[in-house]
Structure 1
Amino acid sequence: MSTTGSRGTTTPSRAARFGGDLVVESLAALGADSVLGLPGQHALGLFDALGRSRLRYLGLRVENNAGFAADGFARLRGTVAPLLLSTGPGALTSLAALQEAAAASAPVLAISSQIPSAGLGGRRRGYLHELVDQQASFRDVVKSVHTPRSASQIPSAIAAAWESALTVPYGPVWVEIPQDVLLAPTDVPPVRDLRAEPRAVQPRAELVAEAAALLAAAERPAILAGGGVVRAGACEQLRELAELLRAPVACTFGGKGAFPWEHPLSLQSWLEDRHTTEFLEDADVLLVVGSGLGELSSNYRTFAPRGRIVQIEADAGKLESNHPAFGIHADAALALSALCRAVPQRPADGRAEARTAGLLKQVRERIDSQGLELEQQVLAAVRDALPDESPAFFDMTILGYWAWSAWDARRPGAMQSAQGAGGLGYAYPAALGAAWALNPDATGAAQGESSQGGEVRAGSPQRPVLAVSGDGGAMYSLAELATARQHDLPVTWLIVDDGGYGILREYMTDSFGAATGTELTRPDFVRLAESFGVPAVATSPERLGEDLAAALSTPGPSVVVLPAILRMFAPTHLGHPDS
């Protein structure tokens, strides 16, 4: 039975089940407890079914922000983040976020509606939101595309997409379902028995044996640990192997927290430093694990190794993609565990630790010689204010670039940024998604209710998350203050207001002598946040630590605005955009 809506659309009655029900039932059967997204006209059948399910829903205000939120959720949970979107403009607006998820190997399962089936097949029928080939817009971004064209195909398509997202390399996938399929009555039984079984990539025994022999014979072994170590949960294996080999370890920006920051063998993450680059170049055997040695991890492609590289990588497309190596296509945890069993214990004579300490001393002396006390003071204040168990999300902003090198994450994956694809506006919505993932009791206001008064209801989440943006990047995400308030998400947003696109201003001034298009008119961020019912404060470098700690300890969302012009540390190589 159905009824006709005011615009002539057919609306299913609530007595039956429909295609949309199969979507949410399939997600729940695969283990989802939450979805994120934004409704639209063609997706109403999906959202109607969502409203009758037990899945928690975090609704964002802009589709690209919803995609970033799903990315943050996936990174913190380490599993699939379902993202629900509408057709055409709604779907396309998510592309930049899905590009970041692809670059960062975040398993986002994007499910969009599509125009009715009668409009498909390459003909232009004049439907609202119509694209001749919507899938084509996503094929260069996502891992796989899945297109159920009948209700009975939906569970299998969702399961295949889920498995694809979690098959290494992790990444975003795309499912699109026509409007009429979502609204169609179905006699398919409720979905309960649905499985997705991604398989880990096992290392080949002969490759492990050869890599172990190379590492055991090395006089100056070193390790570069990337984000694949964190995603594989291989941090303990990494530490064990480093201690067996007495091998110093550097972490890429995506591998933050993979190795303890203050460990005697920790080179930390100063990859934009020529001293660190030379240290890694000097290794006679460099083990690169969970990294493709891309632009940032290779110090803007200035890295020129003189020794042998052993590369462990779950993404076969990244093996030897930038440097010749002895390649092992394998899951990082499995390969590192096998190497730990195969390499002998090296005597602890203190030489590796001394070389590590010497490198860090060179880095500190270089930074300290550049008059960057303000920048170091600000970053230290932020680090001191943030609880160790809380993650930080950084936008593409000067303080974020400092954090790539200088931030002690203290936990695997506890610092995240948009350094994969490099789009603006990542930090705040990703932090909202992370807070949603970390605080499963968060429900926020009911649909249609307001939370403007700033009250904190019983059961509100208490585990804070930090987002850091510049004023330029913050303008991409201001609408999500409403999301934070509606759901009382414990995200503190630090906005460093330097009057424009600060890093671009610096790049252009250094390269061309003047900057164009970088200066911005901004709102009063404090008053704007308060208009959403979000408490906010303007701070100073001297008060930053105190104000930020207070905001982080207060339940619910908050904003801290720091007016300051920060500078990057000077480049030590050719090829960087600011050189």
Structure 2
Amino acid sequence: MTPPEPIAAPASPEPVAPPASPEPPAASASPEPVDGPALARNGGDLVVETLTALGTDVLFGIPGQHALGLFDALSRHAGDVPPDRGGSIRLVASRTENNAAFAADGYARATGRPGVMFVSTGPGALTALAGLQEAYATSVPIVLISSQIPRAGLGGRRKGFLHQLDDQRRSAENVVKHSELVEHAAGIVPALQRAWRTALTAPQGPVWVEITQDTLLEPTVLPPVADVSGAPEPLPARAELLDLAAQWLAGAERPVILAGGGVRRGRAEAELLAVAEAVRAPVVCTPGGKGAFDWQHPLSAQSWVEDVATTELLADADVLLVIGTSLGEVTSNYFTLRPRGRIVQIDATARVLESNFPALGIHADAKLALAGLAERLQPRASDGRAEDAVETLLEIVEGRLDGQDLAHERGVLGAIRAALPDDAQTFWDMTIAGYWAWSCWDPRSGEFHSAQGAGGIGWAYGAALGAAVGLGRRVLAVNGDGGAMYGIGELAVARQHNLPVTWLIVDDGGYGILREYMTDAFGAPTATELVRPDFAALAEAFGVPATVTTPETLREDLVDAWLAEGPNVVVLPTRLAMFAATHLGT
């Protein structure tokens, strides 16, 4: 995104420093009536009032020097929201900014509402970027408000402010949908309104708004914010494209549907079901799309995207309907997929259309496009061929797994699934257990979440904490021991807020999936073995109960953890192996 033209810095006033004493400055006093002689509200008040009016109930972040005006304002407004508007804004202060971004991401995935976060200038803002990359890659709505140095110092490090970057927005623009800088109080409400709408408009994603320190602290005559809306803009499909897509599907003999994360982000599950049943098409879900289609439905080909049988089912379709996925590396079975029929590709992100295969590209929200297709399709009677194709595929997958020495791994994943209620929301890190779950996990009536968008390690625990805050009920996070170390400090957050998260740490002594990759590619691993702490003792040092389990007692220990109060940790010392690669041509 091209930055705006630089704005000339005024010679005065001098940069406003943060409060130097515990006594609040005049700008932080209790708000006076709008017509009073000394209205003592500031830009920070406008930020918090706007977020409140937009429906924010939880906020993640960490204070910092230039952001103190945000947090000071939050302290004045957090408790005054009427109950019919969601209650007070709850601040959940993470221990690192990337985990705050993971928490905002998990909150948004679990609730469908934007995750909101405050960060400070420079190092704090930069540390959040890894978390935003996952949200950007997976189209998760986040509204991040960052502080910025005072206006007089913008435009390069001319004055040498602490934390200053030459161009902070430019650092963020690679991992957000939209960014803007606010330098005056009048711009705060419109910027946040745009941010909220942009984050929620398909394709959803993170948005960056930075506000200068003096704008946050200076008094304002603007009245309290009450009338603001951030409703997303619709992204319908063009009628002529839907007409042609429906014509192709109606005439198809072997239609197949591939449902990606865009179906879930768009809440298009009912529309997907209607289209699948109308054309009698098997449905394969990508890891991100897992849960978009009932796992046990007769047309469900489940999620075994890394098995050659699934790759062949997709390749053999005479019409392949692809919704909410780019048909990228994992979904195409590492680019071994070679479709032989027509492709209809629906996606809210225009740049992914035809990015890997020629297709009838339809730029649209998944829900609106699928609803339009369903209206145009006449349901056909089942001749049993689609159901037979699904049954054959799943039998092939089962037989292939039976032919490998995987009873231990299948037992561990089975024990986790058996221990949790049907409606459990689960969060899986980039670890062998998570890779297994991409393929084999049945989310039932719950939701499955993983970091497969950007693939960053350490995501699961922070995301699960955000989800637990938003849902107000227990969730599960699954990490390996390597990924667990990225979030270990967040145990303090879990304890401080008594968050109902069960954290399963599969401790195999290193980066297990990288160990497998290197062994397969080079014959031996390098730099994958790790010194790690006694995770149970470390958790208990934070005041978080912990249990060391075994594969035989895993189910029972997880049930006990699920029924407990507050946070807890279950440590499973074991090594898991991946099922053998089954790409086309191997």
> Which band: TM-score by shorter chain?
over 0.9
1:26 aligns with 2:50: yes
Residue 459 of structure 2 is matched in structure 1 by 426
Contact 2:478 2:506 in 1 (8 A): yes
Alignment of 1:61-76 (within 5 A): 61-76=95-110
- Report the residue type matching 1:504 in the other structure: L
Q: 2: distance between equivalents of 1:35 and 1:199?
A: 24
Aligned residue for 1:267, secondary structure, equals: coil
Among candidates 450, 466, 469, match of residue 417 of structure 1: 450
Residue 540 of structure 2 is matched in structure 1 by 530
- Report the residue type matching 1:288 in the other structure: V
Residue 75 of structure 2 is matched in structure 1 by 51
Aligned residue for 1:254, secondary structure, equals: coil
Q: 1: distance between equivalents of 2:264 and 2:540?
A: 37
Q: 2: distance between equivalents of 1:517 and 1:3?
A: 45
Q: 1: distance between equivalents of 2:479 and 2:381?
A: 46
Q: Deviations over 1:199-238 (max 9, x none)?
A: 2211222211111110111110110011111111111111
- Report the residue type matching 1:427 in the other structure: A
Q: 1: distance between equivalents of 2:176 and 2:54?
A: 20
Q: 2: distance between equivalents of 1:91 and 1:336?
A: 38
Q: 1: distance between equivalents of 2:151 and 2:280?
A: 62
Among candidates 215, 228, 243, match of residue 249 of structure 2: 215
Contact 1:3 1:12 in 2 (8 A): no
Among candidates 144, 168, 174, match of residue 202 of structure 2: 168
Residue 80 of structure 1 is matched in structure 2 by 114
1:515 aligns with 2:525: yes
Residue 158 of structure 2 is matched in structure 1 by 124
Residue 550 of structure 1 is matched in structure 2 by 560
Residue 4 of structure 2 is matched in structure 1 by none
1:561 aligns with 2:571: yes
Residue 187 to residue 356, structure 1, CA distance change in 2 (3 Å): same
Residue 368 to residue 473, structure 1, CA distance change in 2 (3 Å): same
Q: What root-mean-square deviation, in Å, do the aligned CA atoms of Structure 1 and Structure 2 show?
A: 1.8
Contact 2:157 2:164 in 1 (8 A): no
Shift of 1:18: 1.0
Q: Identity percentage over the alignment?
A: 61
Contact 1:87 1:115 in 2 (8 A): yes
- Report the residue type matching 2:417 in the other structure: R
Residue 13 to residue 79, structure 1, CA distance change in 2 (3 Å): closer
Aligned residues: 552
Aligned residue for 2:182, secondary structure, equals: coil
Among candidates 483, 487, 508, match of residue 477 of structure 1: 487
Shift of 1:139: 1.0
Residue 8 to residue 34, structure 1, CA distance change in 2 (3 Å): closer
Residue segments in structure 1 that go unaligned for 5+ positions in a row: 440-462
Residue 570 of structure 1 is matched in structure 2 by 580
> Mean alpha-carbon deviation: is it higher for 548-557 or for 193-202?
193-202
1:205 aligns with 2:239: yes
Q: Deviations over 1:76-130 (max 9, x none)?
A: 1212111110110000001100000000101111111111111112243211101
Q: 2: distance between equivalents of 1:62 and 1:104?
A: 21
Residue 448 of structure 1 is matched in structure 2 by none
- Report the residue type matching 2:448 in the other structure: M
Alignment of 1:274-293 (within 5 A): 274-293=308-327
Shift of 1:390: 1.6
Shift of 1:513: 1.2
- Report the residue type matching 1:262 in the other structure: Q
Q: 2: distance between equivalents of 1:80 and 1:330?
A: 20
Residue 38 of structure 1 is matched in structure 2 by 62
- Report the residue type matching 2:323 in the other structure: V
Aligned residue for 2:219, secondary structure, equals: coil
Residue 71 to residue 163, structure 1, CA distance change in 2 (3 Å): same
Q: 2: distance between equivalents of 1:33 and 1:493?
A: 25
Q: 2: distance between equivalents of 1:178 and 1:2?
A: 12
Q: 2: distance between equivalents of 1:200 and 1:272?
A: 34
Q: Deviations over 1:245-284 (max 9, x none)?
A: 1100000100010000011110000001111000110010
Shift of 1:34: 1.5
1:300 aligns with 2:334: yes
Residue segments in structure 2 that go unaligned for 5+ positions in a row: 1-15, 31-39, 79-88
Among candidates 292, 296, 306, match of residue 272 of structure 1: 306
Q: Deviations over 1:311-356 (max 9, x none)?
A: 1111111111111111111111111112112112212121211111
Aligned residue for 1:52, secondary structure, equals: helix
Aligned residue for 1:484, secondary structure, equals: helix
Contact 1:498 1:565 in 2 (8 A): yes
Alignment of 1:483-522 (within 5 A): 483-522=493-532
Among candidates 391, 400, 404, match of residue 438 of structure 2: 404
Aligned residue for 1:253, secondary structure, equals: coil
Residue 121 to residue 545, structure 1, CA distance change in 2 (3 Å): same
Residue 436 of structure 1 is matched in structure 2 by 469
Shift of 1:7: 11
Alignment of 1:139-150 (within 5 A): 139-150=173-184
Residue 121 to residue 7, structure 1, CA distance change in 2 (3 Å): farther
Q: 2: distance between equivalents of 1:4 and 1:510?
A: 58
